[in-house]
Structure 1
Amino acid sequence: MVGDVPEIGKNWWLFVVLGVVCVITGVLAIVWPGLTLLTLGIFAGIYLLVTAIMEIIDAIIGEPGGRALSAILGIVSLIAGLIFLRRPGESLLAIVIVAGIFLVAEGVIRVVRAFGSTGRRWWGVAAGVIDVAVGAIILAWPDIGLVTLAVFFAITMLVRGTLAIVLGFQLRKLAHHPESAQVHTASYA
């Protein structure tokens, strides 16, 4: 369990907002797979910066056993987000490689966190495996077209957005009834 659950429960809405941003980004990438690289890069950069902030906060106030992983993922997310926002339309290859590396790193960390938590481990393992698979595909074929990248990106955004929304509402329930359930954010976030 991450940190003081009642304190995290008060901020449940952050997970819901992150989830909604992810789902909207995923839907836009599916509806308009031919989005310009600039738009896709900006959306991805904003998402990665929000993820970085949440991971760094978890590294500071989270469970001691998971702080190092949160810090590493926060730094990787921050660097990737800044690259996306700094050069969103200049180089498809750079964005593809950064996206692939981020997804593989996050997927591995997600799986490690899932095995280190109790409760619903399969959420974290499933999300991690999807991230690693999509990241590996992107890295294996860095010259894939923007449409293919948009579809892979959309899949990961939809999965991660759904998981974040579910977690947010579970945290909300936990904030109102702390004795009713245990939520393990390391499995979802």
Structure 2
Amino acid sequence: MTEIIENEGAETIGFTPSWWTFVLLGIIAVIFGIFCVAMPAYVTLFLGYFIGAFVVVWGIMTIAQAFQPHEGGTGRSVALIILGILAIIVGLMVFTNILSAWFTITYLVAFWAMLTGITNLFQAFTGKDSTWYKILLVIAGIIAIILAFYVLLYPLTVLAFIYVLGIFLIAWGVVVVITGLMTQK
């Protein structure tokens, strides 16, 4: 739901997600968190191979994009082809060496957690919702930022990382579900 908020004659557009999106996101996070804690080895392999497949598909799409008509000229097409080939090579390397995939995944998760935490804090301090909603967003943001710093400090402890990710997802998911239920109108 997008709302126009008037502030001393100036118009700004504020975005407050629907309550059910929080609940759904929280439930998915809790379920995946339980999988992480209950079956860390399977989650490790799944995420590694998923990322590898994703990078290969992205590389193929990037190469295909190089042959589409565009205004970048030959230089842009060559750059896209090189980028696509590199992505395919990296993606295939993931299938041969899952440890290299995990090195990449841990930093991607750290980046995602940091952005999630910053976004939650931003929403808490700029939103016009209830105080409890803002407090829960601050808690969720702090949990995400703590995860980001943990992953940056200990990037290659894969099983420990999966357990920590699982615990984080369960805690964060519960907070997000509560946030959604409290904002239901």
Where do 1:13-24 residues align within 5 Å? 13-24=20-31
- In structure 2, the partner of 1:139 is 152
CA deviation vs aligned residue, 1:57-110 (integer Å, no higher than 9, x gap)? xxxxxxxxxxxxxxxxxxxxxxxxxxxxx7886411000110011111221222
CA 1:42–1:159: 2 relative to 1, 3 Å: farther
- One-letter amino acid of the counterpart of residue 138, structure 1: V
Identity, in percent, stands at 21
Query: Quick one: distance in 2 between partners of 1:42 and 1:124?
Result: 32
> Is 2:112 the counterpart of 1:102?
yes
Aligned partners of 2:107 and 2:155 also within 8 Å: yes
1:163 is matched with which residue? 175
- For residues 94 and 101 of structure 1, the distance between their equivalents in structure 2, rounded to whole angstroms, comes to 11
| 1:37 and 2:50 matched | no
Q: CA deviation at 1:129?
A: 1.2
TM-score, with structure 1 as normaliser: 0.55
1:98 and 1:143 map into 2 onto residues whose CA distance is 13
Structure number with greater Rg is 2
Q: Which amino acid aligns with 2:37?
A: I
SS of aligned partner of 2:45: helix
Q: What is the number of residues matched between the two proteins?
A: 126
Q: Secondary structure at the match of 2:119?
A: helix
Task: Give, in whole Å, the separation in 2 of the partners of 1:170 and 1:42.
Answer: 37
- Paired position in structure 2 for 1:77: none
Q: Is residue 101–residue 139 contact of structure 1 (8 Å, CA) maintained in 2?
A: no
**Secondary structure at 2:42 match in 1:** coil
**Corresponding residue for residue 130 of structure 1:** 143
Partner SS, residue 41 of structure 2: coil
1:1-189 equivalences under 5 Å are 3=2, 12-40=19-47, 90=98, 91-118=101-128, 119-120=131-132, 121-144=134-157, 146-172=158-184, 174=185
Between Structure 1 and Structure 2, the one with more strand by share is 2
Distance between the aligned counterparts of 1:17 and 1:43, measured in 2?
22
Residues 162 and 43 (structure 1), Cα distance of their counterparts in 2 relative to 1, 3 Å cut: farther
Write out per-residue CA displacement over residues 104-139 of structure 1, whole angstroms, 9 at most, x where no aligned residue: 122122212212234222211111111111111101
Letter in 1 for 2:136: W
Change (3 A) 1:116 1:12: closer
- Structure 2 gap segments, 5+ residues each: 4-15, 52-90
User: 1: distance between equivalents of 2:49 and 2:179?
Assistant: 25
8 A Cα contact 2:48 2:102, kept in partner: no
Q: Which runs of 5 or more structure 1 residues have no equivalent in the other structure?
A: 45-85, 175-189
Q: Residue 43 of structure 2 contacts residue 162 of structure 2 at CA under 8 Å; is this kept in 1?
A: no
The answer to whether the Cα contact below 8 Å between 2:143 and 2:172 also exists between their aligned partners in 1 is no
TM-score w.r.t. the length of structure 2 is 0.56
